[in-house]
């Protein structure tokens, strides 16, 4: 919604986008609003990235420059990740920098602001690294694999809805000792849940009523 308003009435003014982002950090953490505040910059960056054709501009860089930039980003991500703590999780610390609102003694919490800035930084660097890895992988995988990944991507909304509503709320909480799972078990769990949610989404799309109720007629 914010993107549509700024695009239509402010001609994608960067100052307006930044001002809205700063204002969002002042909002109280109710109704899960911190999750939207956290995602806001990435939506804006992705939109502007596409609008100004930055993908093609980056693709025009020489291979040497792209390799150097990729390595620098990877090193930066590793460095940031090594400093990541439980406090930096969005679900634990939230985003709002105004504290003590309930006590009617509002004050700006600079420590919270530093957490938000750090989280945005590692998120942006990490997302960029992920896109680079996806691009390199996509260029070297077979046609069948790329088609499979494309089909999964087309049903990503349904997969997300079903996994959140059913698996996260009703199934996974009852799986014993999940905190002790190793990387191999987590990967296996991901593949199994992804496969099941994909099939459920596929079946829901076949029926008009379930498609409308669960997937918004998608």
Per-residue pLDDT tens over the stretch 53-81: 888 888 788 889 989 999 999 999 999 99
Q: How far apart are the first and last CA of the chain?
A: 19
pLDDT of residue 216: 64
The rounded distance, in Å, linking the Cα atoms of 39 and 24 is 11
Residue 25 pLDDT > 90: yes
pLDDT of residue 218: 55
Average pLDDT over residues 113-137: 92
The rounded distance, in Å, linking the Cα atoms of 111 and 88 is 11
pLDDT of residue 142: 79
* Cβ proximity of 200 and 161 under 8 Å: no
CA dihedral 100, 104, 108, 109 (to 10 degrees): -10
Residue 4 pLDDT > 90: no
The rounded distance, in Å, linking the Cα atoms of 77 and 128 is 10
Tell me what percent of the residues of the chain surpass a pLDDT of 90. Answer: 37
Which of residues 94 and 59 earns the better pLDDT score?
94
The rounded distance, in Å, linking the Cα atoms of 26 and 34 is 10
Q: What is the pTM of this model?
A: 0.73
pLDDT of residue 41: 93
């Amino acid at each position: 919604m914010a993107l549509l308003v700024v695009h239509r009435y402010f001609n994608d003014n960067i100052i307006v986008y930044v001002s809205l982002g700063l204002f969002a950090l002042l909002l109280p953490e109710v109704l899960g609003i911190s999750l939207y505040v956290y995602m806001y910059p990435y939506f804006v960056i992705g939109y502007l990235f596409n609008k100004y054709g930055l993908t093609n501009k980056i693709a025009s860089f020489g291979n040497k420059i792209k390799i150097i930039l990729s390595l620098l980003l990877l090193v930066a991500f590793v460095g940031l990740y090594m400093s990541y703590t439980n406090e930096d999780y969005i679900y634990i610390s939230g985003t709002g920098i105004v504290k003590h609102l309930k006590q009617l003694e509002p004050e700006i919490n600079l420590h919270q602001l530093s957490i938000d800035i750090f989280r945005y930084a590692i998120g942006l660097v990490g997302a960029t690294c992920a896109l680079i890895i996806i691009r390199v992988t996509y260029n070297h995988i077979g046609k069948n694999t790329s088609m499979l990944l494309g089909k999964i991507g087309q049903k990503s909304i349904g997969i997300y809805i079903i996994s959140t509503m059913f698996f996260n709320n009703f199934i996974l909480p009852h799986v014993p000792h999940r905190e002790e799972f190793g990387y191999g078990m987590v990967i296996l769990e991901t593949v199994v849940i992804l496969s099941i949610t994909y099939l459920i989404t596929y079946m829901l799309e076949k029926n008009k009523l379930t498609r409308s109720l669960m997937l918004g007629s998608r």
